Structure 1
Amino acid sequence: MKQITRNASLLAASAVLVGLAVPLTASADEPPAAVPPALAWTDCEGSGLDPRQRCATVDVPMDHSDPDGRTIEIAVSRIPAEKPSARRGTLLLIPGGPGGHSLRDPSGKGQKLPQKVRDAYDLVGFAPRGMAPSTAVDCELDPADLSMTKRLPWPGTDGSVAGNLATARRTAEACARNGGELIRHISTANEARDLDRVRAALGERKISAWGVSYGTYVGAVYSQLFPHRTDRIVLDSNNDPDPTRVTRGWLAAFETGVEDNFPEFARWASRPGNPYRVAGTPAEVRSGFLSLAARLDREPLPWPGANPPRLDGNALRQTMLTNLYDPDDYPVLAKAILAARKGTVPPAPESPPESVLQNAAAVGVGTICNDVDWPESAAAYQRDVDESRVTHPLTAGMPRGPMVCAAWPFTPKEPAVRVTDRGPSNILLVQNERDVATPLSGALKLRRALGDRAVMVTVNSTGHDAYLANGNACGDRTVSRFLATGKRPGSDLYCA
């Protein structure tokens, strides 16, 4: 089984389907299903992995409403609990995306977990349906349409969405033509159902999880569909679960996320003594960025090795968006600004192999378009983009633009899952106050939806991914204690 590193795509989706998906699994009162065959653990392919990590595959129905029909494979990886006498169960590492996997995570971020957590849990990663080395899907897109300025709906220099809609049509047609039957069955609800098959194959009655970014939505949906199968659930960097919008709402949230985070970059980039200082005050950093992006809209610079091979205003805006995820990446954005001012360009960003991008894009497209319907009206998108360009100039209308789902030829097979307060009180949310991709405002909506099932830790920190990444010691301590002991704060907590 091949194990490859993939970048999680920054994709999004929408519509107007409200409801609760019916779990296609036995209820807690029904007799247990037949014990699945033991997994055949083998060496994992790939370099830099912990020698303890082993890999296997789990067969799941391609269509969960037809459990005896065609099956597909889900690739899983595992490092066993380090202290068998203290073992509690399995901690599932749910990746972001859609279009990411966590196969390397038991050897990677899993090893950052405190010793008591590693003693207590097998660490398990997986590749969601459609992601190689699980049974894979590919839309065979034009390579030009794999660029982030195409996959996200950055509008034309005049604000027009006509180019976005043309990209959406090309992408939708390619996925319908080349994605096969599997692309119709890629969705968050089906990923959650697959995870319950993984749980059963691992021989676990209940499972714990650490979901990050899009993985928080997967974890919330799993907890809704299979509440009696959950043990300790950590949701880190959280999405608004609104079932009428889903990823379309997450895309729109970039407006808020950038406005929450750009001031932090601006303070850093105007600090005396900073070797990458771009202006004397935070206000000048902002006005200078907007002026530079407008100039590059009019006069783009050649950018050899990049996709597309030019540094225009949208490429600069996408560079901003990418590098606001982690304050450690602020110098990359500052160097791009300083170079472009001089009429030069920074080194082109590194890109994964095209096969990896194609696979991640197909899984992302399938997920966001099958989760919920998107509007098709070009005029409505144009009105939204025009308004957004005025109220949120840093993102230039992109968060309200049409993605591929505006031209998707298929209707979702079921309503999006409505996350509710029905279920055990065993969920801990951890959320940075300033997160460009999953803003605090969206996390608060998930907190409200979960009600008494959850407690939320808000961390006074900047960046995406809070626990053991861009958070702080108070937040990390609180999450680690919950995983190791089950103890949560008695009420929502602010970690200053």
Structure 2
Amino acid sequence: MTNHRTTPLLLALATATALTAAAVPAASAAPAEPGRSGTSAPRLDWRPCAKPGGPAIQECADLPVPLDYADPAGPQISVAVSRIRSDRPEARRGTLVVIPGGPGGSGVQRLTQKGAALQKQLAGAYDLVALDPRGVGGSTTASCGLAPEDRHLTTLRSWPGPGGDVTGNLARSQRVAEACAANGGAVLRSFTTANQVRDMDRLRAALGERRISAWGVSYGTYVGAVYAQTHPGRTDRWVLDSSGDPDPRRVARGWLANMGEGADDRFPDFAAWAAHPDRDGQGLRLARSPEEVEPLVLSLADSLDRAPRPSTTPGVPLTGNGLRQALQNALYGDSAFPGLARLLLTLRDPQATPVLPPELAQPLRDQDASQTAAVICNDVAWPLPSAADQQRAVDEDRARHPLTAGMPVNVTPCSFWKTPPTTPPVRITDRGPSDILMIQSRKDPATPHSGSLKMRQALGKRAVMVTVEQGGHGVYLGNGNACGDAAVTRFLTTGTRPARDTDCPN
């Protein structure tokens, strides 16, 4: 579920009557303590690891963690962690963990991308840390041995065939599940939200912190909510940015199902942009009115279903599902609108050769595709409907949400997964300290506002939610809404939240 500017004045104008001091005491450092497993907290040997575009003071280390927390003295694997220490020790109040989205997002990479902005916003209040979840980036990985054609984004996402046919999806889902069972082993089976939470708490202990703060985005909000539910006494100031429905019966499956509504909520922003007269001067105007844009996109996707267009990437044509996936990606942020418009304009010219967006031009690494599938399938058991019931569900969803063409409710490898979870997902409740700030776009293509309200309801008195009218996915330091950015910064630096749920204008 993930891709990745503030003035206090705008925050004051938006929430002047709603703010109240709710300061949370600083999380104090303490000697390393035993983790939940009973083993001593490991030592972290930090080394410089500055990356292009990231802070010069970034450090990295490797955190040993049990392959199976039920056997803490058994085999160990490695989790890559990174840190940007506070550059103002006198202002430091604790540690902030940056929790990536996904599943499959790299915390180390996100820290590199957002580290400088966080340093500026938080003014030295925190050491900034992150980890690569098991299976990601510099952490221990596993492979299912998937064929390249099963690792493209358009096949990892269960886009139906032309006309909504699910036959290919059923065969591919079973093939992927069997490959993961045959080749993934115990390491792949350990890729779960529960283990990411345990690893995060082991990192807390290794850092010598009694409590930590966190900023989780997209899937990272679910990780953060599970941590807050299972370790309530170890949370300091907690930010959940772009949340989904935490219903334990529909973890991941419900998130996917909601994407049809999310696309419907967000697409009007692109349509208005693409039909605006300002696009004339940029050579990017697609239509005279916003109402004409969706029929254009649907027509082009249908034509590509019938006759895929050769692209500038040899051997990888642009299909209807490729265009639909490009649309989904572009809806995450306004900055992607021009690229999508250029692609659509190219497709209107029968002589032009489309240039694929980079994420569509080649398959994912086997390790990355395997990790993404494994987490959502290991977390919760998925139903296996009959082929007829699956086709009926896709047909109904295609009619209801044409932009997503039935993908959100289609079959995935999880329905054929060979190792169902032994324990149910954590139920998120209102039991625990009131130290959570949720921030959410009202027009989010991946985690729609309606789903975030389910998280808000589950957390009850523990949380306050700020809804941002600016569309997109990933709000804080992501979409340019100064009011939303300031609300999060104020909470993390002072502990002050709005007194009640509130809105930020666009």
> TM-score normalised to the size of structure 1?
0.91
Deviation at 1:9, TM superposition (A): 9.1
1:333 aligns with 2:351: no
> Paired residue for 2:436?
427
For structure 1, the residue ranges without an aligned partner over 5 or more in a row are 1-6, 11-27
2:137 alignment partner in structure 1: 132
Q: Secondary structure at the match of 1:468?
A: coil
Paired residue secondary structure (1:425): coil
Q: Secondary structure at the match of 2:154?
A: helix
- Which position in structure 2 is the counterpart of 1:408? 417
Contact map agreement 1:238 1:438 (CA 8 A) in 2? yes
Q: Please state how far the C-alpha of 1:425 moved relative to its aligned partner.
A: 0.4
Rounded Cα–Cα distance in structure 2 between residues aligned with 1:105 and 1:152? 23
Matched, 1:373 2:357: no
- The structure 1 residue matched to 2:151, chosen from 139, 146, 150, is 146
Match of 1:382 in 2: 391
Cα deviation, residue 291, structure 1? 1.6
Aligned to 2:80: 75
Does residue 317 of structure 2 align to residue 310 of structure 1? yes
Q: How far did residue 33 of structure 1 move?
A: 5.6
Cα deviations by residue, 1:33-75 (Å, 9 ceiling, x for unpaired): 6652431111227544422111111111111122222111111
Give the Cα–Cα distance (whole angstroms) in 2 for the partners of residues 235 and 454 of structure 1: 10
Using the alignment, how far apart are the partners of 2:440 and 2:115 within structure 1?
19
Q: Which moved more, 1:291-300 or 1:39-48?
A: 39-48
> How many residues are matched?
471
Cα separation, 1, equivalents of 2:353 and 2:397: 28
Q: 1:264 to 1:180 in 2, by over 3 A?
A: same
How many Å separate the matches in 2 of 1:44 and 1:356? 25
Report the residue type matching 1:458 in the other structure: T
Cα distance change of structure 1 residues 299 and 423 upon mapping to structure 2, 3 Å threshold: same
Matched, 1:260 2:265: yes
Amino acid at match of 1:444: L
Q: Contact conserved, 2:51 with 2:112, CA < 8 A, in 1? A: no
* Preserved CA contact (<8 Å) 2:49 2:59: yes
Q: In the alignment, what sits opposite 1:3? A: none
More displaced, 292-301 or 452-461? 292-301
Q: 3-state DSSP class of the match of 2:62? A: strand
Residues 400, 37 of structure 1: alpha-carbon distance in 2 compared, 3 angstrom cutoff: closer
- Residue in structure 2 matched with residue 472 of structure 1 by the alignment: 481
Residue 468 of structure 2 corresponds to which residue in structure 1?
Answer: 459
The Cα RMSD (Å) is 2.2
1:362 and 2:370 are equivalent in the alignment: yes
The equivalent residue for 1:289 is 297
Q: Please say if residues 240 and 445 of structure 1, whose CA atoms lie closer than 8 Å, have aligned partners that are also in contact.
A: yes
Paired-residue identity, % = 51
Write the deviation string for residues 409-465 of structure 1: whole angstroms up to 9, x where unpaired.
Answer: 111121011111111100000001111011111111100000000000001101111
Secondary structure of the structure 1 residue equivalent to 2:294:
helix
The separation in 2 between residues aligned to 1:297 and 1:320, in whole angstroms, is 15
- Residue 200 of structure 1 corresponds to 205
The alpha carbon displacement at 1:173 in A equals 1.7
Deviation string, structure 1 residues 126-178 (Cα, Å, up to 9, x no partner)? 11012231111122211111111101111111211111111111211221122
- Match in the other structure for 2:20: none
CA–CA distance in 2 between the matches of 1:474 and 1:372? 37
**1:354 Cα deviation after fit:** 7.3
How does 1:26-105 map onto structure 2 within 5 Å? 35-44=40-49, 46-105=51-110
Equivalent residues of 2:490, 2:497 under 8 A apart: yes
Q: What letter matches 1:215 in structure 2?
A: G
CA contact (8 A) 2:2 2:218 kept: no
Question: Is the CA contact (8 Å cut-off) linking 1:120 and 1:484 kept in structure 2?
Answer: yes
| Aligned match for 2:117, one of 99, 107, 112 | 112
CA distance in 2 between counterparts of 1:221 and 1:64 reads: 17
Report the CA distance shift for 1:312/1:108 in structure 2 as closer, same or farther (over 3 A). closer
1:324 counterpart (315, 331, 342):
331
Inter-partner Cα distance in structure 2 for 1:273 and 1:43 = 46
Which residue number corresponds to residue 15 of structure 1?
none
